[in-house]
Structure 1
């Protein structure tokens, strides 16, 4: 075989966010034949970023030439679109002398909740090409199935039970589906990962007490569960009143419908989420060593909720 030596030199820099680079390559001996002809390539590239309607666009121009006076030029515009940059697009046009002639193309992709859709068209002097496709994955779990645009080595399964449309801040266009499921790909294995949900996206009939899970440490290749313990139902804020105006102390135990136990807060206030519009509550406490209790009935009674919260004054008898 024939030994080919090459020498490379170049630099890149930027001025006011405009990036530029120049590279030179010299080949000692010809790359393609045995006529021992030396050759060289000189290339230059300039990239200019700018924004348009809160989206990013890059304008790029490149030119290269070699010792055969072959000149290749390419102009390119590329950018992102969408409030989460979920769409990417790319348009380019090239020209080369000595028989290369014109070439160009356009490509685009869009990341939806369930898949990545991509399409493109390109042409050269000799041929044209159209490509399109959909990429995604289906994850089946004990909580239900969820489509996801991509799976990487380590992933997290988001669970908000039966609450759909909860937005996960860590991902692009990721919201929980009708089963309350979503997938975040690309978690860092053997490290603490934090996942949070956008509280503004939580429906008014759903309570998520902790919108950040910060202690997820997955192993490599795992699908780790991030359960946000969503509770769907009717949200109530009751102010309890006793007939004799006696005090119900903070921390008094409220057993709701023999199912859920909550604690009374200050000023006789009790917050809870019920799975039905009316029911019964047994409140109990100890004061001066004596056991006390009272009984409450709650009912939405055609009341209008405030931000999904039913605020009621109720008697505890």
Structure 2
């Protein structure tokens, strides 16, 4: 590292285990001469899940809904068409909270069950009903 200058530090996510994910692969640091600097990479360890979320009326949760896995700070995703969301760092069976607006009726939660074995590329596929 060069002291008193911006240094970019990168990691190669392809070298991480299947159950690990990073939200960014590069950070910048400016160390002083002889200093040891910390390069904070936000990581999550857990399963990679493709989850389809349906509301009680049988319709998918709205496009653009924010999905958060309870008990996991770094496991958040945004739904696409058909209520599908990609989540990383899912610890296993648990609960997700879904929000698509600021009103009291514009959110729901769902219990999720993760299959025992992953599908292709180590991706777990699951569905849940949001109440």
- Superposed displacement of residue 195, structure 1: 1.5
The 2-side partners of 1:242 and 1:275 are apart by: 21
Which of 200, 205, 212 lines up with 2:26 in the alignment?
212
Task: Specify which structure has the higher proportion of helix.
Answer: 2
The 1-side partners of 2:68 and 2:14 are apart by: 30
Structure 2 alignment gaps of length 5 or more = none
* Pair 308,243 (structure 1): closer, same or farther in 2 beyond 3 Å: same
The 2-side partners of 1:240 and 1:309 are apart by: 17
The 1-side partners of 2:125 and 2:37 are apart by: 38
Aligned to 1:282: 97
Counterparts of 1:1-317 in structure 2, within 5 Å, are: 187-213=1-27, 215-260=28-73, 262-267=76-81, 268-274=83-89, 276-286=91-101, 291-317=105-131
RMSD (Å), alpha carbons: 2.5
Contact 1:250 1:263 (8 Å CA) reproduced: no
Which TM-score applies when normalising by structure 1? 0.36
- Superposed displacement of residue 211, structure 1: 1.2
Contact 1:240 1:316 (8 Å CA) reproduced: yes
Aligned to 1:114: none
- Superposed displacement of residue 205, structure 1: 0.5
1:165-187, Cα deviation, whole Å (9 max, x unpaired): xxxxxxxxxxxxxxxxxxxxxx1
The 2-side partners of 1:314 and 1:272 are apart by: 14
The 2-side partners of 1:276 and 1:310 are apart by: 12
Q: Which gives a bigger RCO, structure 1 or 2 (Cα 8 Å, sep 6+)?
A: 2
